[in-house]
A and B are shown apart, each in its own frame.
Chain A
Amino acid sequence: MSSSISNSKPEDSVMNQTKSQEFESDYIASQQRRVYLKISLALFLVMATALASVRLFTYLNEASAEGIMGRVVEARKALPKIVKEEKDLVMMFGSSMVGAGFSPRQFDQQAKELGKDVKSFNFGFGGLNPFFQDYLSRRIQEAFQAENRKMKLVIIEFNPFQASQTRWNGAVPIVDSFLTMLATDKELFEIALNDPERGALLFNIKYLRNDISAEMITSFFGREMFPPKRAKRFDEPQELLDKRRELGNELNELFEKEYPDFEDARWHYGWQGGGTIPEERSERTIQVFKEYYETFQDDSMKKNRRLRRIESSGIESLHFEPLLVESFIRIVENFKPVAERVEIVMMPRDFKWINYTPEAQARLDQAVMQIEKATSLKINNHQLLDKITSDMYRDVTHLTKYAGDVTYTHHLVEEFAEHL
């Protein structure tokens, strides 16, 4: 061995050294590839398994866009059909107060009596503050613009307590999830361009987490484990609660009897997004509804509902969240290109129970002024309508079926008939 080394030529030695270096370099490179392949696989498999478990969790808990905002999803799905309706279109857009307080088919009937043949739709959704409504209104705008169609009239509800800071604070854990449910990829991409970290997070929620963010899960379990402190509630009479439960059960039975073919829907096209109407119901049902809503008129119940609204929405102090007021202005602007006329309303308020402090009223006046200036539209203030009495509310904000909604829908027809 030693002799072979000593007998070799110097150029051979250099070549051998180079070959040996190349061999060593190749060996290190292959080692490197192997170790990084293992690292990459390990990281990928750990993350993939963890993400799969999130998806499994959301699947088992029916946590998805359909499960969480089913009414919105169904209404969005109906848009292509709505756009193709032959009659002039009317839409009332807003919160759950619109959902409960606007009866589209009755609006159409009463309008017809005035010689106006229109088809109206209820686009009132619970749980959406103006920030989310802004995105939904963009989807509506897109659907109408795609067919080059305009609505005859759009009535947009400005709900003061939906735009409060308290409301916004309560919505923070769901912002990302709701955004991914309502925004398009293009909108998410625009967010990503301004803020890559947030953009990546939103795409991750949308495509890898089935729209369910970690914040949403945490807040869901967190509230179960550590419920937020509430003001002491007033005791509601037990006999009234029992009676309400009994009547509620009876109403369910009557519904099944009167609508045997009803397919479960949270936004029913046949009902134009509204609910049933008294003309379709039996006398007995109307009577049970009346008795049912009477059980809500107890003082302690009203006081509790008021407290709940104060805690969840700051309904009497009205500290506005600027972002939500700006979002509302955008909603109005989103509707303008697809409507011949846009009206803004503030829906009736149960002024027996909900009263603003002078400071809150001043803040509301300021917000109204800001909206009117930005949109060049006058807000129709229906908050203190005399014809809507306190017993027409099933709590302190939502109107009752067949009484509150009918009266208010009548009022809307009267007020806006000239624009139909």
Chain B
Amino acid sequence: MIFNTPLFFLFFAIFILFYGFAFLRQKPKVYLILVGSLIFYGAWNYRFIPLLVGSGVADYFIALAIANATTQSKKKWLVTLSLVINLGILGLFKYADFVLYSVADFLLLFNYQASLPVLEWVLPVGISFYTFQSLSYTIDVYRGDMKPRKGLVEFVAALSFFPQLVAGPILRARQILPQMHKIALPTWQTAKHGILLITVGLIKKTGADLLAIPAQKAFEAKEAISDIELWTGVIAFAGQIYGDFSGYTDMAIGLALLLGFQIPLNFRVPYFALSPVDFWRRWHISLSSWLRDYLYFSLGGNRTGHRTRNVFITMLLGGLWHGAAWTFVAWGAFHGAIITATHYFAGLKFFESFNSKNNVGIKILKWFITFYLVLIGWVLFRAADIDTAIQMLIDMHTFSSTVEGDKTARVLFVIVIFWIAITHIVDYFILKGSEKFENKKWLFWSTMIFAHILCLFIGEPSDEFIYFQF
């Protein structure tokens, strides 16, 4: 079930009817959230419900056992069990075939034709999100960062909470469990903010679907295209993935607000970033902070003198988290490399003084370099394979296309840039505080209606959220 579909609207209308008017007390509400979330998930594929519930139940009891364990070695054994279960599920469903195919390709280098038993299993939607979420709970309990909470239903309801179930943000147990234990009543002010976020999310998703057209043209070129169309396509993909993912997150946060839950931000105007490090503080914050807290720090972080290695490993695995393909690994490696380079340059005396200057020109230059590097990364991310990505990068920089860009291509280029800028400016103002706007009744509601009209008029050439596949 996707948020921007009539089926979800119907589902949510029925859900609100029970949630807001019939199930008025705490416990029944938690049960309702659990049932609603499982229906939401089951609408996609009910066969994977046991997997979702199973991993939650396992981690719930493992966390209790960790808390009750008397020795550190037993605790270690238990947290390892949780890691094996969660990463095992993820590995089996998401990476098994990738590993087997890669092994077969490697053996082929030595002229050995291996016939390996690939699984070809369907990837359960949102598996990367909920396994990481569940895992963070047992690790937090193991580290003593939180005490295990009693209430299996509350835990599974929190894990499967439908607004964020299939595409995040990845919530920590300590963020969601206390809220699930005492569900708050939304105020009219938070409800309006929720409606604003849902609407902005819908608009972003609708725009992203349109950006998919020039992006597809560039990345899946069936015919020769002009240089400007190639660049437009790459920039359009940057806009598409941002609109798609942050739009979904906005809707998730908005829906949660309507239900009385606060979900933390997942994006903070990422394309305004002034360095690759800054970019990762603004892009998919819940994943980057998860990787920082549970992987980077576990590897030793900055302390062991292996910062470069640790950054690189973290980004490499972060890339692989996005999908089982070498393009994602390359994307992660690329970001690892540019973050390392940023750290290196930041340490040089010349760049120290360069950085300290609060000069608009320097900021623009830093923004430009960062955005350019992010675009290069998106080519690796979106291309069908590494060879295609390299060829695209060569074509982008040699301007060697024999096809001339026409007026339509130039107009489209400007529209794509304009759309990315607009979505960022809107997000920036929401970040700064949208209360004043929300309290201007006529302006607020007429804007909401206009935005929904726009969404109902624009169809979806692609009806999937990109991040669902992760």
Are the C-beta atoms of B7 and A201 separated by less than 8 Å? yes
Residues of A within 8 A of B442 (CB): none
Residues of B within 8 A of A173 (CB): 459
Instruction: Choose the segment among A43-51, A255-263, A270-278 that binds chain B (4+ C-beta atoms closer than 8 Å).
Output: A43-51
CB within 8 Å for A39 and B459 given contacts A33-B20, A200-B7, A200-B10: no
Q: Give the complex CA separation of A38 and B194 in angstroms.
A: 13
CB within 8 Å for A35 and B188 given contacts A46-B445, A50-B449: yes
CB within 8 Å for A31 and B457 given contacts A36-B21, A196-B43, A197-B43: no
B406 to A, closest residue via Cβ: A229
A29 at the A/B interface (Cβ < 8 Å)? yes
A216 to B, closest residue via Cβ: B459
> Within the complex, what minimum Cβ distance (angstroms) separates A243 from chain B?
33
Are the C-beta atoms of B460 and A38 separated by less than 8 Å? no
A51 to B, closest residue via Cβ: B456
A53 at the A/B interface (Cβ < 8 Å)? yes
Using a Cβ–Cβ cut-off of 8 Å, how many residues does chain A contribute to the interface with B? 41
Question: Which A203-229 residues sit within 8 Å CB-CB of chain B?
Answer: 203-204, 208-209, 213-219, 226-227
B24 at the A/B interface (Cβ < 8 Å)? yes
Using a Cβ–Cβ cut-off of 8 Å, how many residues does chain B contribute to the interface with A? 39
A208 to B, closest residue via Cβ: B6
B302 at the A/B interface (Cβ < 8 Å)? no
Number of A-B contacts (CB under 8 A): 107
Residues of B within 8 A of A377 (CB): none
B2 at the A/B interface (Cβ < 8 Å)? yes
B191 at the A/B interface (Cβ < 8 Å)? yes
Are the C-beta atoms of B1 and A218 separated by less than 8 Å? no
Residues of B within 8 A of A204 (CB): 6
Pick from B2, B19, B187: contact of A197, CB below 8 A.
Answer: B2
B448 at the A/B interface (Cβ < 8 Å)? yes
B391 at the A/B interface (Cβ < 8 Å)? no
CB within 8 Å for A35 and B5 given contacts A46-B445, A217-B457, A226-B408: no
Residues of B within 8 A of A213 (CB): 459
Residues of A within 8 A of B461 (CB): 215
> Within the complex, what minimum Cβ distance (angstroms) separates B268 from chain A?
27
Residues of B within 8 A of A214 (CB): 455-460
Pick from A36, A42, A219: contact of B19, CB below 8 A.
Answer: A36
7 contacts between A and B (CB under 8 A): A31-B185, A35-B191, A42-B191, A42-B445, A46-B452, A49-B452, A214-B460
Q: Which residues of B contact A (CB under 8 A)?
A: 1-2, 5-7, 9-10, 13, 16-17, 19-21, 24-25, 43, 185-188, 191-192, 195, 210, 258, 408, 412, 445, 448-449, 452-453, 455-461
The 6 closest A-B pairs by CB, nearest first: A36-B20, A215-B459, A214-B459, A200-B7, A50-B452, A204-B6
Q: Which residues of A contact B (CB under 8 A)?
A: 25, 28-29, 31-33, 35-40, 42-43, 46-47, 49-51, 53-54, 57, 173, 196-197, 199-201, 203-204, 208-209, 213-219, 226-227
Besides A35-B185, A216-B459, 20 other A-B contacts (C-beta < 8 A): A25-B25, A32-B185, A35-B188, A36-B20, A39-B16, A39-B20, A39-B258, A42-B192, A43-B195, A47-B452, A50-B452, A51-B456, A54-B457, A197-B43, A200-B10, A214-B455, A214-B457, A218-B457, A218-B459, A226-B412
